[in-house]
Amino acid sequence: MAKIVLSRTISNNRLLDVTCKNGYPLQYYTREAKEYIDITRKELKRQWRKEPLKCRLKISIEWHKRFVNKSNENDKRIDIDNPLKGLLNVMTGIVFVDDSQVWELKIKKINVKNDTEKVVVRIREKK
């Protein structure tokens, strides 16, 4: 099993934006997404020094973030699947060849008391 710790993730809602070019919709990465991709790829390359995996994978993700405030009316409502697309996309080509190799995925939100976010990813071969 391999373990990777990343400093942050990005919401699917902030990953892509749409514009119109010659009358057709065109999706593009937002400035925030480009920053996230650049920082996260550097973090991944520091921790993953092997060739990308080519087998079927089981991935476990722990998303450590301040999700709940003291007052229930101020609770942050963040969907558990929010970081998945951006995270799997940025791992493609570094940790694994393609995210279609992921056959099993477990994600868990862990509320922390401060505003320090981290994402712990555990990867193993699916047998």
pLDDT of 10-67, one tens digit each? 888 888 889 998 999 998 889 999 999 999 999 999 999 999 999 999 999 999 988 7
Residue 127 CB coordination number (10 Å):
6
- Which pTM value belongs to this model? 0.84
Query: What's the number of domains the chain is made of?
Result: 1
* Residue at token pair 């509320």: 111
State the virtual CA torsion across 105, 103, 44, 50 in degrees, nearest 10. 140
Percent of the chain at pLDDT exceeding 90: 58
**Cβ-based burial of 70 (10 A; exposed 0-12, middle 13-18, buried ≥19):** exposed
* Domain span including residue 44: 2-125
- Average pLDDT score over the chain: 89
pLDDT computed for residue 126 by the predictor? 92
Distance CA 87, CA 99 (A): 10
The domain that holds 107 is classified in CATH as: 3.30.1330.70
* Residue at token pair 């999700």: 67
